[in-house]
């Protein structure tokens, strides 16, 4: 049943684009038809790509959802990974973010003084292997979780690495 729903979800827009293109050809606007169909296809291709491979703004928003503060200007994403949400909305995202020493200390102080963030443990997953360098030591000095009442299926975590410059931000959504 799901297979047929997916086929219909793909086939119906394609049939509509073909019908639109034929209508434009009948109106002697073939080039306009090609341009419009191409723009629509490019729009959907871009959105599918960004959904599968999120851009840095996605991970900056994850940082903000965990720390409740804007990401510093010095932030540079060293590595990142996110699973595509399944039918229930479950996903896992992780980002390794390098900050300046000053921003690292500032973020750490803000997080430590925020009562909404509690000391916590990281949820380990296979996605870490895709993000962390196997040759580099990965040791967290301090870690904090943000728990939201009514959203116990969300795990928001920030870990401060011992190098004094790098943070790891993990968001797990299990519904």
Give CA–CA dist 143/157, Å, rounded. Answer: 7
Write out pLDDT tens, residues 110-123.
999 999 888 887 77
pTM, two decimals, is: 0.76
pLDDT value of position 135: 45
Please report which confidence band the pLDDT of residue 154 belongs to, taking 50, 70 and 90 as the band edges: confident
CB atoms within 10 A of CB 174: 13
Give CA angle at 84 (82, 89), nearest 5°: 110
Indicate whether 129 pLDDT > 70.
Answer: no
Residue 93 per-residue DSSP state: E
What mean pLDDT, rounded, does the chain reach? 85
């Amino acid at each position: 049943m799901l297979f047929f729903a997916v086929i219909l979800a793909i086939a119906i827009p394609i049939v509509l684009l073909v019908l639109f293109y034929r209508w434009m050809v009948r109106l002697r606007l073939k080039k306009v038809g090609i341009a419009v169909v191409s723009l629509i296809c490019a729009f959907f291709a871009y959105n599918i790509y960004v959904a599968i491979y999120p851009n840095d703004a996605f991970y900056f928003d994850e940082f903000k959802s965990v720390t409740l503060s804007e990401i510093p200007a010095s932030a540079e994403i060293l590595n990142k990974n996110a699973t595509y949400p399944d039918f229930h909305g479950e996903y896992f995202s992780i980002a390794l973010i390098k900050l300046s020493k000053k921003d690292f200390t500032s973020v750490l102080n803000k997080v430590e003084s925020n009562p909404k963030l509690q000391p916590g443990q990281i949820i380990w997953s296979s996605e870490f292997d895709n993000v962390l360098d196997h040759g580099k030591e990965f040791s967290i000095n301090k870690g904090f979780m943000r728990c939201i009442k009514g959203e116990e299926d969300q795990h928001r975590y920030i870990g401060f690495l011992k190098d004094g410059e790098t943070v790891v931000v993990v968001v797990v959504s299990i519904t």
